[in-house]
Amino acid sequence: MGVRLFAPGAICVALLTLASCGGGSGDGLDSNGRPLVPGSGGSTTAALTPDLASIQSHIFTPICSVCHAGGSAPQGLHLDAANAYANLVGVPSNEVPALLRVSPGDPADSYIIQKLEGHAAVGARMPFGGPYLDDATIAVISQWITNGAPQTAPAAADSRSAAQAAPVAATARAQGGI
Amino acid sequence: MRPLLAPMTNKLFLLLALLMLLALPKTSQAEPYLAMEMGLKCVACHVNPTGGALRNATGLAFAKGAIPANQLPELASNWGGNLGDYLRIGGDLRTSLQHSVVPDEPTQTSAGLDQIRVYGDVQLIPDRLGIYVDDTLAPGNAQVQEAYVRASMPGMAWYAKAGQFYLPFGWRLQDNTAFVRMASGISMTTPDKGVELGMEQGDFSAQFDVTDGVGNAGTGHGYQVTSQLIWVKSWGRLGAAATTTSSVGGDRQVAGVFGGLRTGPLVWLAEADLVSDASFPQRRKMLASLLEVDWLVRQGHNLKLTGETYDPDRSVANDNQARYSLVYEYTPIPFLQIRAGYRKYLGIPQNNLENRQLEFLELHGYF
């Protein structure tokens, strides 16, 4: 009987302890959890548009770069604001080297679109574990690629340094590197 | 009639089980609370000394007899995955149905196959030299997860691996999206190439790895050094792990402590990982933690409650995230598990994704 009562009792204590931990208040932060810098924007309240800065701010920074950044970025793919363009556009996919991650003008043959839509030849659909991007959002990324995947100012979405990322970009472009 | 019906019923049952597996829709295959329940090391039940995937004879017997609520007819459960004296194979299939709710966005339901994996171990010289392969067959084309040569002393007292394998760091959780796994960058989705030296002696397990570094894939620059030490007792275990990565994407260090405790029908798992990442203009420190309690309600029925916290930048206030999961795991028969769960994310209010909810139903077949 003691053991029977102990288990649910201990779980209740654990529940109460855990319930004391919640999300941050977000005071003083932008929608990506970074400190607000006066005049820098950084909010994702604006609608998603088919340009890299918008895609970075709405998708790459808040969703992808949770994993795809830094020294442990899966497949060596860095999708933080400073490195996303150089790691994507014209760079062969690691999983399917015959395909470019982003092939300007050709979203159907861009590996990133195949991974987001869930029909890539290799591996799991992204974002890993979901929720997945809806069709309209993927269409905006496709439109950016159809438009030639132009580079726009990449630094607005988060505060990573483009200058520091240059070696990453150069290496990724040179050697290939989702 | 009876002699004819009995084998037909068995065949029909197996066929139905197979169809169920194929019809329904997370990844990988490790549940450390099971080892905790038995007070055993990972190597006691798995071919891979760091756990997960292919089970050895003990692990298979455990999967048949100690986990499920019911037993299969003897004939259906006799096979042990051995193909001859030197080759052992296994497999894993996971399908899932997910329903996600993100505030102010349309709800999303997805169903499908998460993975089909097969693994095999060839004993070139029994207990001395072997080749291990773990391959994902679906989704998509086949993809090697682990493939390495293993040289060992009997009982894995000392061993060495060379090839591609999962790095040893903290609890090897089934949920690869757990904060501790995502923050550490080491999970069962991120195999790496290199060498591992390990030992299994007395109450201790230890590993030392030198690998390319996951973040260096495709660039060929940098390296990762990982080490782990675990003290295992029948009542629980304590472990510490550390990894450092030299990468063109920015150097990164992670240190973690983890432990487990068994109290009656409850198994407690905890882990805390501190990450220091130099890929940002100013080095960021992140902290992820996990507390899990598993309640073995009765054989075949496990209730799992997990609470997690994540601070993505310790120098920034008010940006904490949390995640709570409640999962019921029912294993009606050997090698078949049904999991149903609810997960709630808590984050800053201005980020809808950090405040999502997830309900899921998973079917997991394995042998």
Digit-by-digit pLDDT tens for chain B (367 residues) are: 334 334 444 444 444 444 443 333 344 456 788 888 888 888 888 888 888 888 888 888 888 888 899 988 776 667 778 888 899 999 999 999 999 999 998 899 989 898 999 999 999 999 899 999 999 998 888 999 999 999 999 989 999 999 999 999 999 998 999 999 999 999 988 999 999 999 999 999 999 999 999 888 876 588 999 999 999 999 999 999 999 999 887 899 999 999 999 999 999 999 999 999 998 888 999 999 999 999 999 999 999 999 999 999 999 999 999 999 999 999 999 999 999 999 999 999 999 999 999 999 999 998 8
Q: How many CB atoms lie within 10 A of CB B192?
A: 24
Q: B193 in helix, strand or coil?
A: strand
Q: How far apart are CA B331 and CA B222, in angstroms?
A: 44
Q: Do B185 and A164 touch (CB under 8 A)?
A: no
Spell out the residues 6+ positions from residue B291 whose beta carbon is closer than 8 angstroms to its own: A14, A17, A18, B268, B269, B270, B306, B307, B308
pLDDT for A16 equals: 60
**pLDDT tens sequence across B32-56:** 888 888 888 888 888 888 888 888 8
Interchain CB contact of B216 with A (< 8 Å): yes
Q: How many CB pairs under 8 A join A and B?
A: 225
Q: How far apart are CA A79 and CA B181, in angstroms?
A: 19
Please determine, for residue A109, whether its predicted confidence score (pLDDT) is greater than 80: yes
pLDDT for B29 equals: 52
pLDDT for A146 equals: 96
Q: Do B324 and A24 touch (CB under 8 A)?
A: no
DSSP output for A114-153: HHHHT--SBS--SSTTSPPPPHHHHHHHHHHHHTT-----
Interchain CB contact of B222 with A (< 8 Å): yes
**pLDDT tens sequence across B79-111:** 778 888 899 999 999 999 999 999 998 899 989
Residues of B in contact with A176 (CB under 8 A): 218
A6, A66, A67, A72: best to mutate for the B interface, most B CBs within 10 A: A72
Residues of B in contact with A35 (CB under 8 A): 316
Q: Which long-range contacts (CB under 8 A, 24 or more apart) does A61-66 make?
A: A61/A32, A61/A157, A61/A158, A62/A31, A62/A32, A62/B351, A62/B353, A63/A127, A63/B353, A64/A126, A64/A127, A65/A158, A66/B182
Determine the average pLDDT of the residues in A73-93: 91
Q: Do A72 and B184 touch (CB under 8 A)?
A: yes
Nearest CA in chain B to A27: B318
Residue B318 to chain A, least CA–CA distance (Å):
4
**pLDDT tens sequence across A112-170:** 999 999 999 988 899 998 889 999 999 999 999 999 999 974 444 444 443 333 333 33
Task: Provide the residue type at B160 as one letter.
Answer: A
More confident residue, A6 or A29: A29
Partner residue opposite A72 with nearest CB, options B112, B252, B324 = B252
More confident residue, A64 or B250: A64
Question: Per the structure block, which two tokens stand in for B163?
Answer: 């090839």
Q: Do B245 and A32 touch (CB under 8 A)?
A: no
Q: Do B351 and A33 touch (CB under 8 A)?
A: yes
Task: Provide the residue type at B293 as one letter.
Answer: V
How distant, in Å, are the alpha carbons of A47, A59, A101, B103, B288 from that of A104?
A: 23, 19, 10, 33, 38
Interchain CB contact of B96 with A (< 8 Å): no
**pLDDT tens sequence across A14-36:** 666 666 678 999 999 998 898 99
pLDDT for B75 equals: 61
Question: Residue B162: enclosing H or E segment and its boundaries?
Answer: strand B158-165
How distant, in Å, are the alpha carbons of A101, B325, B327, B347, B356 from that of B101?
A: 29, 15, 17, 14, 6
Angle at CA B152, nearest 5°, toward B150 and B193? 30
Partner residue opposite A14 with nearest CB, options B108, B291, B350 = B291
Residue A91 to chain B, least CA–CA distance (Å):
11
Per-residue confidence band for A45, with pLDDT thresholds at 50, 70 and 90: low
Nearest CA in chain A to B181: A67
Partner residue opposite B353 with nearest CB, options A62, A80, A120 = A62
Question: Per the structure block, which two tokens stand in for B210?
Answer: 């030198």
